[in-house]
Amino acid sequence: MPLTDDQIAEIAELRSTPQPTLRATAPGMEQHLYHAHEVLDHGFVRVIDYMGDDAAIVQAARVSYGAGTKKSRDDSGLIRYLMRHWHSTPFEMCEIKLHVKLPVFVARQWIRHRTANVNEYSARYSILDREFYIPAPDQLAAQSTVNNQGRGEVLTGAEAAQVLEILKTDAGRAYDHYEQMLSQEGQQGLARELARMNLPANIYTQWYWKVDLHNLFHFLRLRADEHAQYEIRVYAETLCKIVADWVPAAYGAFEDYRLGGANLSAKALDCVKRMLKGEAVTQETSGMSKGEWREFEALLGSR
């Protein structure tokens, strides 16, 4: 169960006692407050608080650009202009605070985005639960032969069963020893800050993560990408749905220009111009390396 009984009771109590407010609210986001979106086998994402909406982005931009811009662009058009031209500061006017439960190895990828405020569950102070991420069978894949940080073919049959058994057995044994070290009969037991070192990277941790919309978009652009590791990508995809309800105009622009768009190098752009003129461009005449050309062809859908 991703949520404990105490957490479920706390969420129910908070949702049952709404408070009046004079601040701007986003109706779509209000529906997400305190609701836990389950991710993986024991994880979740839930919105604790937020600030701002699409109007806050526009308001900040017009302070910067001065009076009169509203006459020439509607709010959605202005937001798309900001996104298209990489104007980041207006998006920083919106913030979100999340409660996330995730495997430790996913958390170590996530924390590389150093543009947020984070407070993690302390295993020095508290005892971690016996909860481990065990991949679904369709996520048990061999090492990719072309990508050093990617997956290849899905494991099947006896090989897959053996891997699952190893993961479950090792995790359970490590936790048994963790409990044993914490509580030695007739003795004081090992300090929690030391006992935790023996726990595997697939055990679950939790944190509060607060970030502004600009940096959240950067996180989503990388982690919601189809090439991102599956275990962090599913968290990013959940966040995409939440953000789409929170700031629909901003998310629409982000989806168009970042998630669905692409950046071209000067050489790649030159090749596109030459192709539009009818010239037959090859890797040898493109000025690009074989790797760049392969990615360029994949981008154009020509291979």
Residue-wise pLDDT for 66-97, tens only, equals 655 554 458 999 999 999 999 999 999 999 99
Is pLDDT of 282 > 70? Answer: yes
Q: Which pLDDT does position 72 carry in this prediction?
A: 43
Q: Which pLDDT does position 44 carry in this prediction?
A: 97
How far is it, in rounded angstroms, from Cα 57 to Cα 89?
Answer: 9
In this structure, of 148-152, 153-157, 209-213, the range with the lowest mean pLDDT score is 148-152
Residues annotated within the binding site for FAD are 89, 112-114, 120, 212-214, 218
Model confidence band, residue 303 (pLDDT cutoffs 50, 70, 90): low
Q: Which pLDDT does position 73 carry in this prediction?
A: 53
Is pLDDT of 145 > 90? Answer: no
> Which residue would you say has higher pLDDT here, 271 or 145?
271
Query: Is 200 within 8 Å of 171 (Cβ atoms)?
Result: yes
- Average pLDDT over every residue of 140-166: 83
Share of the chain above pLDDT 90, in %: 72
Q: Which pLDDT does position 68 carry in this prediction?
A: 52
Q: Which pLDDT does position 155 carry in this prediction?
A: 84
Q: Which of 62, 223, 233, 274 is catalytic?
A: 223
Query: Is 55 within 8 Å of 27 (Cβ atoms)?
Result: no
- Average pLDDT over every residue of 96-110: 97
Residues annotated within the binding site for dUMP are 109-112, 120-124, 196, 223
In this structure, of 2-11, 132-141, 251-260, the range with the lowest mean pLDDT score is 2-11
223 is known as an active-site residue:
yes
Nearest to 252 by CA among 37, 74, 31, 84: 84
Residues annotated within the binding site are 89, 109-114, 120-124, 196, 212-214, 218, 223
- Average pLDDT over every residue of 220-228: 94
Q: Which two tokens stand for residue 47?
A: 């919105």
Q: What is the 3-state secondary structure (H, E, C) of the chain?
A: CCCCHHHHHHHHHHHHCCCCCCCCCCHHHHCCECCEEEECCCEEEEEEEEECCHHHHHHHHHHHHCCCHHHHCCHHHHHHHHHHCCCCHHHHHCEEEEEEEEEHHHHHHHCCCCCCEEEECCCCCCCCCCCECCCCHHHCEEECCCCCCCEEEECCHHHHHHHHHHHHHHHHHHHHHHHHHHCCCCCCCCCHHHHHHHCCCCEEEEEEEEEEHHHHHHHHHHHCCCCCCHHHHHHHHHHHHHHHHHCHHHHHHHHHHHHCCCCCCHHHHHHHHHHHCCCCCCHHHHCCCHHHHHHHHHHHCCC
Q: What digits encode the pLDDT tens for the residues 172-218? A: 999 999 999 998 666 778 999 999 999 999 999 999 999 999 999 99
The mean of the pLDDT values for the chain is 91
Is pLDDT of 2 > 80? Answer: no
Model confidence band, residue 4 (pLDDT cutoffs 50, 70, 90): confident
Is pLDDT of 233 > 90? Answer: yes
Q: Which pLDDT does position 244 carry in this prediction?
A: 98
Q: Which two tokens stand for residue 157?
A: 């049959």
